[in-house]
Each structure stands twice: as C-alpha cells, then as structure tokens.
Amino acid sequence: MDTELTRLIQDMPKGENHVHLEGSISPELLLSLGEKNGVTLPFDSVEGANRYIRENTRSLDTFINVFNVVNSVMCGQEDFHQLVVDFAREGARENIVYREAIINFAVHEHRGIDPREIVRGLASGRREALEKYGVDLCFIGELDRSVDRYWAEDFVRRMDQYRKEIPLVAIGWALGLKGKEEDNFRAPEHREAFRLAGELGFYRTAHCGEVQGPESVWEVLENLEPDRIDHGVRGSEDPALVAELARRGTLLAVCPSTNVLIGLYPDFASHPVKYLMDQGVRVSVSTDDPAYILTGLSHELTQVALAHDLSREEVIELVRNSFRHSFAGKHHQEKLEHWLKQN
Ligand SMILES: [Zn+2]
C-alpha cells in the first residue's frame, strides 16, 4: 500500500460509530485502576494484560470472561471519568474527532455500581476530553438482549433520565449478560421498548448479523426500527436484504477485526465490506473493543483498504459515512471536507 494512503488514513479527521467504552480501556489504565481499587487481576504488567486478553478473546464465551475481569476495575465516578478522558486521548492520537461510545450501564449496576456515579464520571470526563483533546463524545446506552420486555422498557425510561447530564443519544441492542447472541435473541420482545425509545427521541441501533445470519438482521429491521446496524455483515449472504439495506440507507457500522477474531471470516480479504459498498450499502468502519482486539481505527481502515485495494475516494467515503450517518456528529463532516481541500 502506498504511503500516501496510509498518511491520509492516519491524518484525516475521523469519526467512530461502534466502539464500546469498557472495551477501550488501555492496559495501563486497567492496571492502575486495579491497583487503586484493590482488585486482583490475572496479570501484573502491560505485556501480561495484552497476552491474557489475546489468549482469551478467541470465542464469545471466553470473551465474556475477559469482559468481566476488565469491568471489575471500574468502581466509581473517578474511574469512569478517567476511562472517558483516556478514550478521547487515544482517539486524538489518530485524529478521531468524534466518537459514539456504547456504555453498558446494566453490567455495572449488576456489579453494584451506582449508575449516578457512572453518569457523573461520563459527564465530567467528556468535558475534559473536549477541552484537552478536542474530541467530541456522545453515548449509547446498551440494552441487554436477554432481558424481558418490562425490564427493557424500564431501561429506556431510565436512560431518558440520564440525558439531563450527558448526551445519551441512542439505545443500542447488544450482547446479553447471559452470553452468546444466539442464546437469547429476542427482537420481538423488545419491539415496544424500541418504539418507546423512538418516541422519547433516541436513535436506535442494534448488534445483529454477526454470530447470526441474515435472518437476525431482518428480524431487527422488522421489530426495532433501527437507524443503523452494528455489524450486520452477514446481511451480505442475502441479496434481497442487501438491496433492502441499500434502499433504506441504513448504515452498517462494521468492525472487521472482531469478525476475523471470532472466526467469521479467515482474513480481511474475505470480509464482505467491499461487496456491501459496491451494492450501495452505507458502511463505516469501527474498532468495537480496541483494547481486546488490540487494534486502532487507522489500522482497521488501512487493513480494509489494503485487502480490498480501495481507492482514495472509497476510503474517504467510509470515513465520511462515520459523520454523515452519525447520531450527533454530522457537523464534524465539515472538518473532514476542509481537511480534504487542503490535502
Ligand atoms: Zn459491538
């Protein structure tokens, strides 16, 4: 790949749509919060943390174990503040100017953490992130797909309360606490919760079409009225669905490294990202859980461009989509266009 395209990817202002806050913690912060909060971790160095994560993120089952270990160091307001500030600093290093962070309130509540502490930490962290690093953050409340409809509706109402303090812009449907996506897939069960979310002015997004096939994407489209889809790549297996996604203009926020890591595709070249783009589906690229997957957004974009021989315009389109189809960062597209005129 020519160095010009590598530089373009690194330097251009970028947005990110699909990234989990808990999955973005650096090993350094993981260790320091563990020590501060007296949490015993199964590693005691940055190398050890990376090795532990690398060895245990090969399947969704062991991934959940890593997720629990990592979350155990996040105990109070200050920790969430620090997590958000670090999240912005890491983004700024590769010129990410806007990030939509998915936060799993339920999993922290389940551990006994007061959600008001989390909200206060996110609010103050976000302010510092913007002041210090110029990175604009908003949040997506992650709804556990394994909960019943009443819990789900209550969750949406509680998220509405938090919006007084933080820009919580969307409800995102994602992996359940109980484990695998396919074990607890209940889009019809959450139809009413998502209708309520729309009524309250939330955007809606949903993880689907990764572990499960195209039928999971159809089910989400039919029940949850999503403004976009997280992953959705297995939608590529059904031509009628590809055409429908293109017709609706629904963004797929794809995370190729995650898909490769869990064995969905053997490598980037086998990933359907280019096929989807060619069929007129809107796609942006994200890192999902960068700390677990040991990747960064520039790396993801570079690997996609390299594996599929993307043109400069195609790379720019992926980045443009991260703003154009964002929930609260459409105005940041101007930064990209301005930068492109000068470069
Ligand atoms: Zn995700």
Give tens-digit pLDDT for 295-307.
Answer: 899 999 999 999 9
Is 73's pLDDT higher than 70? yes
Q: What is the pLDDT of residues 86-103, one digit of tens each?
A: 999 999 999 999 999 999
Residue 328 pLDDT:
97
Work out the burial of residue 8: count CB atoms within 10 Å of its CB; fewer than 13 is exposed, 13-18 middle, 19 or more buried.
buried
Residue 176 pLDDT:
65
Distance 82 CA to ligand 1 centre (A): 21
Confidence of residue 1 (pLDDT cuts 50, 70, 90): low
Q: Give the separation between CA 247 and CA 243, rounded to whole angstroms.
A: 6
- For 294, half-sphere exposure in the C-beta direction (CA atoms, 13 angstrom radius) is 14
Residue 37 pLDDT:
96
Residues sharing a CB contact under 8 Å with residue 154, sequence separation 6 or more, in sequence order: none
Residue type, 314: E
Distance 64 CA to ligand 1 centre (A): 13
Query: What is the pLDDT averaged over residues 169-198?
Result: 80
Distance 207 CA to ligand 1 centre (A): 7
Residue 183 pLDDT:
53
Residue type, 247: R
Distance 219 CA to ligand 1 centre (A): 18
> Is the pTM for the entire model greater than 0.85?
yes
The H or E element that residue 231 is part of is strand 228-231
Confidence of residue 52 (pLDDT cuts 50, 70, 90): very high
Is 180's pLDDT higher than 70? no
What is the DSSP annotation of 105-121? HHHHHHTT--HHHHHHH
Is 59's pLDDT higher than 60? yes
Q: Give the separation between CA 186 and CA 337, rounded to whole angstroms.
A: 41
Closest by CA position to 113, among listed 88, 83, 92, 153? 83
Q: What percentage of the chain has pLDDT greater than the value 70?
A: 96
Distance 230 CA to ligand 1 centre (A): 6
Token pair for residue 288?
């999902």
Residue 301: give the domain boundaries: 3-326+334-342
Distance 23 CA to ligand 1 centre (A): 9
CATH number, domain at 73?
A: 3.20.20.140
Residue 177 pLDDT:
58
Residues sharing a CB contact under 8 Å with residue 37, sequence separation 6 or more, in sequence order: 73, 75, 79
Number of domains in the chain: 1
Q: Give the separation between CA 212 and CA 306, rounded to whole angstroms.
A: 27
Q: Give the separation between CA 226 and CA 219, rounded to whole angstroms.
A: 11
Residue 261 pLDDT:
87
Closest by CA position to 180, among listed 80, 285, 62? 62
Closest by CA position to 118, among listed 96, 99, 100, 141? 141
Is 48's pLDDT higher than 80? yes
Confidence of residue 84 (pLDDT cuts 50, 70, 90): very high
Q: Give the separation between CA 283 and CA 276, rounded to whole angstroms.
A: 8
Is 266's pLDDT higher than 60? yes
